[in-house]
Structures are given as C-alpha cells and as structure tokens.
Amino acid sequence: MFPSSPKKSPILTRLKSSGSESADPDGGEDTVDAQDALFYSINDRQVANIQLEFFYKPHTITLLTFTFIPIIYFAFTRDTEESLANNVWAGVKFIIFLSLVISTLAFPNGPFTRPHPLIWRMVFGLSVLYLMALVFILFQNYDTVKYMLEWVFPDLEGFTIDSEREYGINCSDVSIERIWSHLDVFALGHFFGWTLKAMLIRHYGVSWLISVTWEITEMAFSHLLPNFIECWWDALILDVLICNGAGIWLGMYICRKLEMRKYQWESIKNITSTKGKIKRAVLQFTPETWTSMKWLDPSCTYVRYLAVTQLVIYWQITELNTFFLKHIFEIPPGHPLSIGRLAMIALIVAPSLRQYYVYVVDARCKRVGSQCWVFGAIMFLELIICIRFGLDLFAQTQIRNIVIWIIIQFFLSIVCVSLGVWWSKLNTKNEDHSTRKDR
C-alpha cells in the first residue's frame, strides 16, 4: 500500500550521470553535485537504514485498489437525490482524499523520515490543497466566504466577534483571583504552544526574541484587534515570563534530552520480547536523530542578520494571520476550524523551518525547499485575504504604529543576533582555553 522510498534519489543519480553537460574544467561539477545533494537531502530525504522493510517497499497497485474501493462504493450507494449541498460536500471530501493519496506517490519526503516519509508527503499535499483553497477564497466576495464557512460549520451562524472575552479591563485590580481567572485553557494552550515553538526553533535567543517581539506586535495592532489589549501584568508576567518563558524552557529541555540521547535503531525482527517489539514500534514515532540549530555563531555574516530578522517578521505575520482571519470572518478562538488550522500550520512549519535553517546557515544550499516555498505562499495569501476582506478594518490602521513596529522588529533582531554572536564567540574562546589547559 505504501509507495517506495529508495535509498538513493533517482534525480540526484541523473544529475551525477549527466557528465559532460554539467562538467566544469575548474572542478565545478563536483560543486554542483554537492549543492544538489544538499538540496535533495532537505527536500526529499531518503531513509538510510530501513528496519521495517514492509512499510518501505512499493505497493502502488495495492494502493490504487484500496483507493478506488471506497470511491466506487460511495459513488453507487449514495443517494444523489439528496440536497445539492450534500452532493457537493461529498465530492469535495473525495477530492481531498484522492489528492492526499496522489501526494504520497508524487511529492517529496521533505527533511524528515519519521514516523514515515508518507506522513510528510501527505503534509505537503495538505499544504498544497490549503494553498489552492486560499486562492479560490481570494476571488470570492465576503458573503460567499461566510456562506461556505457556515455551510461546513453551521454552528458559526449567529456568532459575532464582539462576544469575545476582553482582557484589558480594570487593570488596577491585581488580585490572586483576577490573575487566576486569566489562567484559562488559552493560557495552557499558550504554554504548550511555546513548548512546541522552542522545539522547532531550538535556540534560546531566537525563541525569546520572537516571544518579546510578539508582545510588541500585540501592542502595535491593538487598535485593530481589541483582543490584543491586555493589562501590563498580563502581558509581561503571565504571557512573557510564565507562559512563554516556561514553555521555552520546557521545549529547550526536551531538545537537550533528545540531543544527548544515543540513537541506535534495532530492527524489530531482531527483538524477541513482545514488550520490546511494542516499544520499538512506539519509538518509530520519535525522531531518527536530533541536532541542535546554531542560528547564531561566530561566522555570522550580514546575510544571517537579515535572515534571522526575516524569520522573526514572517513568524509575526503568521501569528497575526491567525487573529485577523478569526476576527474578520468571525470565528471563535476555540472553534474546530481555528484549532484545525493551527494544527495544520504547526505540521507545515516543522519541515519548512528545517529547510529554511539549512538554506540560511549552509552557503552551499542555493534554494529553499519545496515545503518552505509553499508555506511562504500560504503566509502571503492569508495576509492578502485578510487585507482584501478587512478593508474597513485596515482603513483604521495607525501608520505610525506600524512604522514603529517594523523599526523595533529590525532593531531587536539585530541586537539579538549581535548578542548571540558575541556569546557564541565567548563560549568558543572558553572551550579553546579549556582544551589548551587540559593539554
């Protein structure tokens, strides 16, 4: 049922066997091959040591059979005399189903191979489907989009964004009861969200930079989104120090544990005990290896400064899209549509950030991976949709706030990168000194 995952990329093999077409008298062919090998390692990484052979052998005919069995069954058993809405929705669901099946056959693996490359191909397929849906929405009018959302989620009908909870009321009342009332399910989600973000970024400095700049982003856009208005103790203590800070610490703690762990994968066929086989099957859902991300090091150039600044700003835009989309189309923050989008974005960001990191830190990589490119397109399309359908809202924009926000983003990013480079140089110097001392 599962498509094959060969140990060697056929595309890279063709590149290396092209010989005279890409030969360089100065040795450029080797350089080109190294660049292509690096790109394909993050765009279509192959499984180097296959332990569960059945799941990595080609089963394309079986997949084709099991794909069309449900399609044929529902095509001949569904009552097509039902409402037009039900027929259209059934067709849409099977379009999504078939698109995800095709993505397992045609799309690249991305930079990860656990729990299975098939999962990450489906994530890529899901991101492409979401991108196409955004393009379709862009060319509709507001009433049509609202009708489609209420058609899929009837519980959205009648909800108004004005009923959202407000946090910036009576800020002088700083009592234990008041603070405890703010530690709701969203605060818990905030904490675990930052745990996940820290595990994706894998760098204290960059994580704290994004955390602090996000609070500044909330202040800059609070005149457009009333939900951003918070008391000073809520923003500084509950958000930055408790939720963000504790989440970043936990995420980095998990990263250190995963980085120190010894990764010795044994074939499940060589394990005799039932408990051992179950444990090995569960470990399939853990990373194959874990490496730290050195966003800032002594070799940083001005390009790295711009790249980290770009990462921070793009991260802010992605977060802003979440709040503007639910505000403009009036969707509750705890609604399955909001939660589902956040979960999908988290899945897409994981391989995208890895591909972006390699592109930034390795000069041999001359282009970003496919998943990163698609995610960039999603981010900008969501932003365009927010502006197009929220013209009345954005007409109230205070340009001065936005200009100051952009300046602060650049300034803090440059300061953070500079401090990170200084700290990295200091650690390198201390390590060299300790090494000489030991000798």
Whether residue 207 contacts residue 197, with contact meaning beta carbons closer than 8 Å, is answered with: yes
Average the pLDDT over 273-302 and give the result: 72
Tokens matching residue 319: 């977060």
- pLDDT at position 29 is 53
Domain range holding 249? 107-438
Average the pLDDT over 172-177 and give the result: 69
The reply to whether 72 falls in a domain is: no
pLDDT in tens, 192-232: 889 999 999 988 888 998 998 898 898 888 888 888 888 77
For residue 379, give the nearest of 341, 416, 430 by alpha carbon.
341
Which band of pLDDT confidence, cut at 50, 70 and 90, is reported for residue 430? low
Percentage with pLDDT > 70 across the chain? 74
Give the list of residues 6+ apart from residue 208 with CB closer than 8 angstroms, or none: 248, 416
Which band of pLDDT confidence, cut at 50, 70 and 90, is reported for residue 155? confident
- pLDDT at position 184 is 66
Whether residue 103 contacts residue 130, with contact meaning beta carbons closer than 8 Å, is answered with: no
The reply to whether 279 falls in a domain is: yes
Give the list of residues 6+ apart from residue 96 with CB closer than 8 angstroms, or none: 129
The reply to whether 394 falls in a domain is: yes
403: three-class secondary structure by DSSP: helix
The reply to whether 30 falls in a domain is: no
- pLDDT at position 298 is 67
Q: Which of 40-44, 234-238, 293-297, 384-388 has the lowest mean pLDDT?
A: 40-44
Q: Phi and psi dihedrals of 184, rounded to 5? A: -95, -165
- pLDDT at position 183 is 67
The reply to whether 351 falls in a domain is: yes
pLDDT of 381 > 90? The answer is yes
The reply to whether 91 falls in a domain is: no
pLDDT of 394 > 70? The answer is yes
- pLDDT at position 356 is 92
Average the pLDDT over 251-268 and give the result: 74
Between residues 302 and 316, the one the model is more confident about: 316
User: What is d(CA 332, CA 235) in angstroms, rounded to the nearest whole number?
Assistant: 21
- pLDDT at position 167 is 65
- pLDDT at position 18 is 39
If you write DSSP's letter for every residue of 294-315 in order, what string do you get? Answer: -SS-TT--HHHHHHHHHHHHHH
Tell me the average pLDDT of the chain: 79
pLDDT in tens, 50-83: 655 656 677 778 888 888 888 888 888 887 777 7
The reply to whether 83 falls in a domain is: no
For residue 373, give the nearest of 386, 355, 361 by alpha carbon.
355
Which band of pLDDT confidence, cut at 50, 70 and 90, is reported for residue 17? very low
- pLDDT at position 12 is 43
240 to each of 97, 187, 194, 274, how far by Cα in Å?
41, 11, 10, 46
For residue 245, give the nearest of 256, 237, 254, 234 by alpha carbon.
237
Number of domain units in the chain:
1
Average the pLDDT over 18-38 and give the result: 52
Tokens matching residue 49: 């040591």
Q: Which of 14-18, 79-83, 401-405 has the lowest mean pLDDT?
A: 14-18
- pLDDT at position 363 is 77
The reply to whether 58 falls in a domain is: no
- pLDDT at position 129 is 94
pLDDT in tens, 88-101: 888 888 899 988 88
